[in-house]
Amino acid sequence: MNIEVLKSKIHRVRITQSELHYVGSITIDQDLLDASNLIEGEKVQVVNINNGERLETYVITGERGSGMICLNGPAARLAQVGDIVIIISYAHMDFEEAKVFKPTVIFPDANNKLPL
């Protein structure tokens, strides 16, 4: 049996930009992607702390060290610059494997930077 479990989470980052007239997705600073074990093109769920919106989209790599979290396309209507979001990805795996799997969870600071 396969189940879906938490794979990666970027906990509480601030939306820095939104681009309504873009193909779609969420752009995330490369440093945050590396630390959270996310890759470009990966499906993510974005949960907005400020308004309760939840959406699914895919990752685009942002400039390393920029702190960028940018909602693109229609998703830009679901958050405003300054909103706090949680970015989550899930993985399908065997039930027994899932019992011992450890997700990657990161806690960036108020500027979307990793603590030193």
- Provide the 3-class DSSP secondary structure of residue 98: helix
> What tokens were used for 106?
């990161």
The active-site residue out of 8, 25, 66, 89 is 25
Residues 6+ apart with CB under 8 A from 84: 12, 13, 14, 15, 48, 49, 50
- 90 in active site: no
Buried b (16+ CB within 10 A) or exposed e, 86-95: bbbbbbeeee
The active-site residue out of 18, 22, 36, 58 is 58
- 25 in active site: yes
- Which residues participate in catalysis according to the annotation? 25, 58
